[in-house]
Amino acid sequence: MTARYADTPPDSVTAELEATLERVKTALEIHCEDPDAPGPLDDIVRGLRDVRGACVLLEQHEAAQQAGELLGWAERLMHGQTEDAEGLRARLLESVLRLARYLAWRHRSRHRAEAAPPAPVIDLAAFALDLNTLRSRFQRTLLGLLRGDKLDHHLDQLAT
């Protein structure tokens, strides 16, 4: 992602991030089927750079770090600096899918937290007044029961 995304709302960056991850996944699938095709690797590297930048903008540092590692793997594939290219392609595809699931989970959990109603504000002064009133009624009820008064009368006083 470029600097133009710095002023973009997080939901727009997230939508672009999901689309970019989908393009990277598609390019990876094409590259796994035909490893000699040079085009998909360029798209993968460019897409993973965009993903890492978007994760930094969204302040999802774990995802940005993982995208950086995946970018390193893709660059090693592009420059032929690996012995087990087939295994690395499979791990790269699996990791991109895992990163997409992780980012989707983070996005859902963030929206759930934003949608939760705020905790009600308790007026402590009113609560203390109610508590003092209730305490005095409760004490009168207990004293009345100890004297042998009728229980119904005292329970009615507690309820009011």
Between CA 20 and CA 71 the distance in angstroms is 14
Q: Which two tokens stand for residue 66?
A: 């993982």
Task: Convert the pLDDT of each residue in 52-83 to its tens digit.
Answer: 988 888 888 898 999 999 999 999 988 888 88
Other Cβ atoms less than 10 A from the Cβ of 90: the count is 13
Residue indicated by tokens 């989908």: 22
- Taking each helix axis from N to C end, the angle separating 61-78 and 85-115, rounded to the nearest 10 degrees, works out to 160
pTM above 0.75?
no
CATH code, 3-115? 1.20.120.160
Task: Convert the pLDDT of each residue in 100-110 to its tens digit.
Answer: 888 888 888 87
Give the pLDDT of residue 118: 64
Between CA 31 and CA 82 the distance in angstroms is 15
Other Cβ atoms less than 10 A from the Cβ of 112: the count is 9
pLDDT at residue 50 is higher than 50: yes
